[in-house]
């Protein structure tokens, strides 16, 4: 069966890592017709919007997209395309597994956890205003509806991947109303999943425990900003951004992308590590039901990385992006 998938190369190292990923996915034999679409600063200059309607329409038609990183101007300029995509396609769940990859140097050799981040509200609602000069307010929106569906998603993920425990991460001791609501919802949903252990953990203590004893965690679920920070921490536990995949999932659409950004410092040099997007591509194949191909792709990355020398320099190897992809294709 052939699939049509929207491919957004993005900018910075985006075109390099998306091209690498596309070659690896094509080599699995899963037939995908790639529909290439633009987004980001270049497009902004030409069309007056960083996220053209044609790009959104393509994702809506195909239901699935693979996306390279897109540079976001800091402080001023257009709103993050990533946040806009999540909100306009209602991609309410951000799924970020952190699993040790042998051969990648890191502090632990047996981390295997999943961070589920709420993707549509919290402090990313984009509701900021100047109250009086010198005083700015940002609204952190927590709703019962979004809390319910993200916690349910976490439990369904736990079921699907045969996980034992879900930890609801919160700050309800201080944010009594907003995180109080979130926690109340989490407890209620947890009762529907008697076979999965449920645990609550305050966010700051969670950060400490993750650094000291990451093996104590399994699936963690939390609101947007906590998820942003904690998932970068967990990617650091398994060797950093070069290996961290993610999936943005909604009821109708899904967008797969690396956790890392556009890496302007190495863009265009052909040395970027495409593993994070390739592993995101494996999550995508999983999502399409191509489980065997997804596992072969993940195994290929694990094998080449474990061998060492044929990986990219950020992993201690000697290869550029293209040579590393050749090694993956050989294994595949
Ligand atoms: P970054 O992730 O782009 O880079 C951080 C550091 O990690 C840099 O030294 C970079 O060279 C290195 N790095 C990242 N990915 C790598 C890879 N695949 N291979 C080898 N080295 C890699 O984060 P930064 O610099 O904070 O952000 C750059 C831009 O990307 C910003 O405009 C930011 O807003 C945007 N961004 C976009 C995201 C997205 O499209 N989903 C996510 C995160 C950031
Ligand atoms: Mg982030």
Same fold, 1-95+241-332 and 107-237: yes
Please tell me the CATH code under which domain 107-237 is placed. Answer: 3.40.718.10
Q: Best mutation site among 15, 124, 259, 263 for ligand 1, i.e. most ligand atoms within 8 A of its Cβ?
A: 263
Residue 237 pLDDT > 70: yes
Coil, helix or strand for 97? Answer: strand
- Predicted local confidence at residue 125, as pLDDT: 80
200-236 tens-digit pLDDT: 999 999 999 999 999 999 999 999 999 999 999 999 9
Burial class (CB in 10 A: 0-12, 13-18, 19+), 265: exposed
Taking the CB of residue 131, how many other CB atoms lie within 10 A of it? 8
263-278 tens-digit pLDDT: 999 999 999 999 999 9
Residue nearest to atom 27 of ligand 1 (CA): 261
- With a 6 Å cutoff on the Cβ, whether 266 touches ligand 1 is yes
Burial class (CB in 10 A: 0-12, 13-18, 19+), 3: middle
232 noted as active-site residue:
yes
pTM: 0.92
Question: What is the mean pLDDT of the segment spanning 31-51?
Answer: 91
124 noted as active-site residue:
yes
CA distances from 182 to 21, 171, 185, 209, 226 (A): 37, 10, 5, 21, 13
Domain 1-95+241-332, CATH 3.90.420.10 — does that match? no
276-289 tens-digit pLDDT: 999 999 999 999 99
Task: Report residue 209 as tokens.
Answer: 């425990």
48: left (phi over 0), alpha (psi -120 to 50) or beta: left
For the chain, which residues make up each domain, given as ranges?
1-95+241-332, 107-237
Query: Would you say 112 and 99 are in contact if contact means Cβ atoms under 8 Å apart?
Result: yes
């Amino acid at each position: 069966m052939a699939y049509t998938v929207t491919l957004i190369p993005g900018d910075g190292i985006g075109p390099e890592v998306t091209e690498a990923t596309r070659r690896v996915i094509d080599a699995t034999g899963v037939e995908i017709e790639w529909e290439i679409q633009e987004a980001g600063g270049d497009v902004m200059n030409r069309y007056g919007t960083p996220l053209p309607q044609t790009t959104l329409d393509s994702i809506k038609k195909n239901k699935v997209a693979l996306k390279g990183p897109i540079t976001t101007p800091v402080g001023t300029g257009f709103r993050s395309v990533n946040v806009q995509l999540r909100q306009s396609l209602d991609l309410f769940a951000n799924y970020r597994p952190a699993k040790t990859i042998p051969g990648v140097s890191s502090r632990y050799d047996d981390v295997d956890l999943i961070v589920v981040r709420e993707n549509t509200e919290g402090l990313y609602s984009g509701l900021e205003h100047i109250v009086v000069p010198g005083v700015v307010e940002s609204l952190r929106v927590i709703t019962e509806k979004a809390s319910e569906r993200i916690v349910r998603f976490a439990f369904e993920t736990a079921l699907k991947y045969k996980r034992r425990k879900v930890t609801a991460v919160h700050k309800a001791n201080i944010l009594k109303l907003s995180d109080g609501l979130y926690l109340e919802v989490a407890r209620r949903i947890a009762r529907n999943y008697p076979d999965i252990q449920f645990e609550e953990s305050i966010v700051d203590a969670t950060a400490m425990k993750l650094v000291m004893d990451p093996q104590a965690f399994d699936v963690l679920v939390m609101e947007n900003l906590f998820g942003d920070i904690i998932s970068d921490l967990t990617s650091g536990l398994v060797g950093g951004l070069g290996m961290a995949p993610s999936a943005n999932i909604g009821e109708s659409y899904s967008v797969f992308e690396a956790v890392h950004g556009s890496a302007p410092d190495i863009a265009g040099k052909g040395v970027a590590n495409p593993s994070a997007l390739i592993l995101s591509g494996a999550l995508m194949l999983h999502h399409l039901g191509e489980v065997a191909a997804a596992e072969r792709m993940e195994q290929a990355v694990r094998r080449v990385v474990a061998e060492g020398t044929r990986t990219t320099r950020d992993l201690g190897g000697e290869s550029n992006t293209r040579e590393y992809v050749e090694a993956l294709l050989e294994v595949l």
